[in-house]
């Protein structure tokens, strides 16, 4: 990719700590089935163009990678990332923040349900 009049592309801004473009190419396609289903769920065609899927996947991977790097910057003093670091990063985007909190609550409820199910299953085996 060459520099355009608008400046370098986001892929050219990649720092040394981020994966190189060749390592991204090796993993391309990893999320396409899931993204295809999500796009369909949001009203897209059941079989979107492969180019569209590749573009959406690139955007998602870039966004997630950027968020993880920002969370890592916040967590450098502790040495590990915490869920709160990600919540802090999306704190000004209320729909995202609320959705994150909802998913975390649902995840906790699922853990509790699995634990109760496993305990019931063990009790019936004894």
For residue 7, give the DSSP letter. B
Q: pLDDT-based confidence at 27, cuts 50/70/90?
A: confident
Tokens encoding 76: 């450098």
57 exposure class (CB count in 10 Å sphere: 0-12, 13-18, 19+): buried
> Which pLDDT score is estimated for 39?
96
> Which pLDDT score is estimated for 25?
54
Q: Does residue 90 surpass a pLDDT of 90?
A: yes
> Which pLDDT score is estimated for 53?
95
Task: Report how far apart, in Å, the C-alpha atoms of 90 and of each of 46, 61, 64, 84, 103 are.
Answer: 30, 17, 12, 10, 14
Q: pLDDT-based confidence at 62, cuts 50/70/90?
A: very high
Q: How is domain 27-80 classified at the CATH fold level?
A: Histone, subunit A (1.10.20)
> Which pLDDT score is estimated for 123?
75
For residue 2, give the DSSP letter. -
* Mean pLDDT computed over every residue of the chain: 82
> Which pLDDT score is estimated for 17?
47
Q: pLDDT-based confidence at 104, cuts 50/70/90?
A: very high
Q: Does residue 75 surpass a pLDDT of 60?
A: yes
Which has more pLDDT, 9 or 25? 25
Q: Does residue 1 surpass a pLDDT of 90?
A: no
């Amino acid at each position: 990719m060459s520099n355009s009049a608008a400046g370098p592309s986001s892929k050219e801004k990649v720092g040394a700590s981020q994966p190189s473009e060749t390592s991204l190419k090796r993993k391309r396609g990893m999320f396409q089935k899931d993204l295809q289903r999500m796009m369909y769920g949001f009203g897209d065609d059941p079989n979107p163009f492969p180019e569209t899927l590749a573009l959406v996947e690139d955007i998602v991977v870039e966004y997630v990678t950027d968020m993880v790097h920002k969370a890592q910057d916040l967590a450098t003093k502790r040495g590990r990332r915490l869920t709160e670091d990600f919540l802090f990063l999306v704190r000004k985007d209320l729909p995202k923040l609320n959705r994150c909190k909802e998913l975390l609550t649902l995840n906790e409820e699922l853990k509790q349900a699995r634990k109760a199910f496993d305990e019931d299953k063990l009790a019936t085996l004894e």
